[in-house]
Amino acid sequence: MKRRTEVVSKRLADMREGRQGFYVYRYLGTQGFLPNYAFPRQATTATFYEIDNDISREQGLALREYAPGNSIYYRGNRYEVIMARARTELGTPAFEDLLVCPACASAYLGNDAKLPACLSCGTALTGTHVNRRALRMPDMLAKRRTSITADEEERTRLGYAISYHYQPGHALQRYHLLTGAHGSDQPPHSIELTYEHNGRVIQVNEGTVQAQRTDQEEGFTLCRRCSRWLLSDDAVQKHLDPQSSSGCRHSAVEDDILRRVMLFSDAQVDVVTLDLVLPTEGLRRARRRCSTPRWPRPCCTRPRSPSISTRASSTAS
Ligand SMILES: [Zn+2]
Ligand SMILES: [Zn+2]
C-alpha cells in the first residue's frame, strides 16, 4: 500500500507539473487533438498499480493486448489488467450505442445506430438488437500477479472474440483481376480488389472466447463504482460481499454491476479488400483459417454462397 501511495503522489505531481505523459503537447497528441506522426493516433495507455510507468498501444492493438484480465509482461514481471480508467458521464462510463447489420456486418455507433436501414446493403435495421454498452477502448490499470489460476490460464490461452467491421466509403479504387494458368483450358478465376485510403474500420472485443464456449454472457462485466473488471460470476459474488477480501471498496450493490460491456476501436486505416470465389475443396479450410483473424493480417470473411468474400486490411503508414 505504501508503494501504491508513492506511485499516486508521484503521478499527481507529474499532472500538476506537466511532466512525463502529461507534457501538454504529448498528452494532446495521444488524445488525437494534435497531428501525431511519431506516435499512433488514439493510443490506449496501460498504467501499473505498483510502479510509476505506463505503456501505450494503438487502440486496435490495445483492444486485445490490454483487454480485461489479459496479462501484460513488463520488465520481467507479469501484470493483469484489472481496472478501466474510462471517461465517465454522471458517474457511469461514457457508453455508446453499437448496432451491427445482421446481413453484411457493417457496424454503426452512436446516433448512426438509429439508422432505419443499413447504408451498405439496404437491410432494414428496425428491430435489430442495439448494444447500449459499447465502450471506446479506455485506458487501463494493471496489477502485478505472481501466480495464475487454471481458469485464468485457459482464458489467456483461448483469447478474445474480436470482430472486424469495415464500411466502404465513396473513394474506392476498384480493380478486376483475372487469374489462371497460361494455356490452361480451365476458365480464369475472377478477383475483385478494392483499395481505400483512410477507410473506416471498427473492431469490437465481444468478450472472451472461453465465455462464448461455455455459453456465458457475452461482453465483459464492470463495477461502475470502482471500475473493476469482474471476469466470472464468482468474482461478481465476491465483489458484492462486504465480508469478502475481494469486496468492492466503494460498497457496490447489484445495480452497480454493468454486464455485457463491449469494447471497441474506431480507426481510419488504409484498407484492401479481395472478393473471390474459392475452390470448393478449399472452402472449409479457408473458413476455419479466416475465422480466427489476427490484426493487421487478413481480417474478415463473410461467406457468400456460392462464393466467399475475403477482406484484408492494413494500417495506414
Ligand atoms: Zn448491411
Ligand atoms: Zn466495485
CA distance readout (Å), 151 to 27, 28, 208: 37, 39, 12
Check residue 310 and give its pLDDT.
37
118: which DSSP letter? -
Q: Report CA dihedral (39, 40, 45, 48) to the nearest 10 degrees.
A: -50
The bound ligand whose nearest atom lies closest to the alpha carbon of 166 is 1
Q: Which residues of the chain have pLDDT under 50?
A: 38-40, 288-317
Distance 93 CA to ligand 1 centre (A): 29
How far apart CA 290 and CA 308 sit, in angstroms, is 11
The bound ligand whose nearest atom lies closest to the alpha carbon of 125 is 1
Check residue 26 and give its pLDDT.
65
Q: What are the pLDDT digits (tens) for 125-172?
A: 999 999 999 999 999 999 999 888 887 788 888 899 999 998 888 888
How far apart CA 98 and CA 118 sit, in angstroms, is 13
Q: Residues with Cβ within 5 Å of ion ligand 2?
A: 223, 225-226, 228, 248, 252
Check residue 297 and give its pLDDT.
34
Contacts for 224 with CB less than 8 Å, ≥ 6 apart:
91, 92, 93, 252, 256, 257, 258
The bound ligand whose nearest atom lies closest to the alpha carbon of 247 is 2
Is beta strand 43-48 parallel, antiparallel or unpaired with respect to 139-145? parallel
* Residue with the three cell numbers 476458365: 187
Check residue 250 and give its pLDDT.
93
Check residue 282 and give its pLDDT.
57
Check residue 169 and give its pLDDT.
81
Distance 257 CA to ligand 2 centre (A): 8
Distance 288 CA to ligand 1 centre (A): 23
The C-alpha cell of 308 is what?
466467399
How far apart CA 20 and CA 30 sit, in angstroms, is 12
Q: Which helix (H) or strand (E) holds 69?
A: none
Check residue 146 and give its pLDDT.
87
